[in-house]
């Protein structure tokens, strides 16, 4: 799938095995998710907006450089698990704005329901929007978030979704409904269970980040 990039790097694999391991406690899990988030951030920002500016080096030479316009980037973590990736992205994008979208999932229908939306009213001024969601399972929560972003004026060609784990069903749903949106994933797992969990996966990422 041309719109999907999967991290293929030993450093990513090392963090994924720590995240998957049920013996990893909350400290290990959080640290591994943060480190994996940094790798996702590097990949997701390959085409981040930049501008040219002049600086003078210690050799007293004036030169033109490319400077990141991170103030033109909006991070949108999907609550609650998406918060686990925010710190990683802000490490590289310290001027980025952050807006939250909260989704709850009906455990019977697996449908997503919006309960928090702190998006700015007009997203047209942002040159890149990065949706942060560690688990792209059914894709229902992510698609709902993308629909809200579109309603607020975001250009889907400027949106990327960053996730630690994904499955084909979620990726297919995004590709079908938002073909211009690109996804950066740590790994694509083979199974979506009948209750909407990724397998082998890592369990409930939100619980492991904040409760267990």
Q: Please give the pLDDT value at position 212.
A: 62
pLDDT, tens digit (0-9, with 9 covering 90-100), for 67-79: 999 999 999 999 8
CB-based contacts of 132, cutoff 8 Å, min separation 6:
37, 75, 76, 77, 78, 82, 85, 86, 89, 162, 163
Query: What is the block-wise mean pLDDT of the chain (212 residues), using blocks of 10 residues?
Result: 91 97 96 97 96 94 94 95 96 97 77 86 92 94 93 94 96 96 97 93 93 73
Residues 161/183, Cβ–Cβ less than 8 Å: yes
Ranges of each domain in the chain: 4-48+67-210
Residue 113 sits at the vertex; the CA angle it makes with 109 and 198, to the nearest 5 degrees, is 55
Domain 4-48+67-210 CATH assignment equals 3.40.50.2020: yes
Q: pTM value?
A: 0.92
* Rounded CA separation 205/193 (Å): 15
Please confirm whether the linkage preceding 23 is cis (ω < 30° from 0).
Answer: no
In DSSP terms, 102 is beta-bridged to: 79, 116
* Rounded CA separation 150/53 (Å): 32
* Rounded CA separation 153/77 (Å): 18
CA end-to-end span of the chain: 35
């Amino acid at each position: 799938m041309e719109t999907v990039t999967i991290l293929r790097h030993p450093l990513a694999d090392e963090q994924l095995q720590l995240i998957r391991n049920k013996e990893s406690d909350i400290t290990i899990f959080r640290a591994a998710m943060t480190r994996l988030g940094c790798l996702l951030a590097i990949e997701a920002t390959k085409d981040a907006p930049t501008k040219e500016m002049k600086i003078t080096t210690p050799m007293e030479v004036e030169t033109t450089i490319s400077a990141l316009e991170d103030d033109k980037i909006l991070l949108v973590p999907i609550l609650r698990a998406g918060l686990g990736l925010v710190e990683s992205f802000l490490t590289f994008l310290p001027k980025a704005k952050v807006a939250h979208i909260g989704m709850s999932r009906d455990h019977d229908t697996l449908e997503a329901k919006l309960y928090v939306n702190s998006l700015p009213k007009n997203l047209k001024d942002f040159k890149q929007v990065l949706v942060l969601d560690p688990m792209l399972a059914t894709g229902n929560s992510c698609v709902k978030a993308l629909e809200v972003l579109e309603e607020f004026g975001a250009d889907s060609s400027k949106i990327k979704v960053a996730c630690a784990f994904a499955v084909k069903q979620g990726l297919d749903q995004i590709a079908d409904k938002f073909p211009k949106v690109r996804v950066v994933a740590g790994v694509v797992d083979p199974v979506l269970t009948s209750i909407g969990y990724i397998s082998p996966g890592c369990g409930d990422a939100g619980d492991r980040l904040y409760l267990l």
